[in-house]
Amino acid sequence: MLEGKFDEASLLKKVIDAMKDSVKLCNFNCTENGISVQAIDDSRVLLISLLIEAGSFEDYRCDRNIVLGLEMESLNKIIKNGNASDMLTLVAEDSPDALNLIFEDKRRDRIAEYSLKLMDIDQDFLKIEDMKFDAVVNMPSAEFAKICRDMKTLSESLQIIITKDSVKFNSEGDFGSGSVVIKSFTDLEKTEESVRITLEKPINLTFGAKYLNDIIKSTPLASQVTIKLCDKQPALFEYQLPSGYLRFYLAPKFED
Amino acid sequence: DGLQSTLGEFFPTE
């Protein structure tokens, strides 16, 4: 049996909100260590890897491994019915045909209970070995989100160029072009505002702006985003959870 | 503006 209680529904609300526009069907794998998901978008360009460790829950138990096949839009409809500050408990039997979601208001005696039918989802699984990266950028997630939104107004592609101490986001469109340069910066008082660049080799990669604009839906989850890049390889965008992560692997674009 | 690659080109399917 699975029983996982979040102190606040807000965490799962943000996670589902970040995923639902990229993937429609997901298997949520529940083990004694927590809940994990690997899901790929229909175009097979963007992969989501989610890990909500047991430590993200106030109470967590999962006696046997359980797979919950969930339709994200349906899950989102139910999740939206709960308040962000509600306690949220996920309950499923050992061989479940439904996931129960219980929202409890902390101030009042109000309990809302929902049942979501499970689906049998046949998904293939991509084997991602430990990747080596040439460059790692830690920067404020809100700043990264603004850059992705701004650059998408110009072009469907966004070029990321990293040299010693700066990251250049470059966009070349039909009616014009634009770029934003971010430099390493340490804010001792507000560490979440800092930009850290770790570079082994210079990077020049191009990504689809559409996918980046799906990734930035994770911005409410974490004040910083970590971007890991390697020449001619998929990039990794990571948002840390209190205990766990939401990662996106994005395949690059290449010259014709 | 460039050819979009897919993740299957980089990661094997299990």
Q: Is A159 on the interface with B (CB under 8 A)?
A: no
The answer to whether A58 and A89 have CB atoms below 8 angstroms apart is no
pLDDT score for A165: 87
The residues that bridge with A172 in the sheet, in sequence order, are A177
Across residues A50-54, what is the average pLDDT? 98
**What ipTM score was computed for the predicted complex, to two decimals?**
0.96
pLDDT at position A124, please?
83
Q: With CB atoms and an 8 Å threshold, state whether B10 touches A45.
A: no
Q: Measured between alpha carbons, how far is A220 from A205 in angstroms, rounded to an integer?
A: 26
Of chain A, the percentage scoring pLDDT greater than 90 comes to: 92
pLDDT at site A108: 81
Nearest C-alpha in B relative to A44? B6
> A251 and B1 in contact by Cβ < 8 A?
no
For chain B, the average pLDDT equals 91
Question: Can you tell me whether residue A16 is helix, strand or coil?
Answer: helix
Residue A133 CA to residue A184 CA, distance in Å, equals 18
d(CA A166, CA A176): 23
The DSSP element (H or E) to which A243 belongs, if any, is none
Give the whole-angstrom CA distance, residue A182 versus residue A206.
Answer: 17
Residue spans of alpha helices (H) in A26-101: 72-81
Task: Decide: A120 and A69 in contact? Cβ < 8 Å.
Answer: yes
Per mean pLDDT, which range of A49-53, A86-90, A164-168 is the poorest? A164-168
Question: How many other C-beta atoms can be found within 10 angstroms of the C-beta atom of residue A194?
Answer: 15
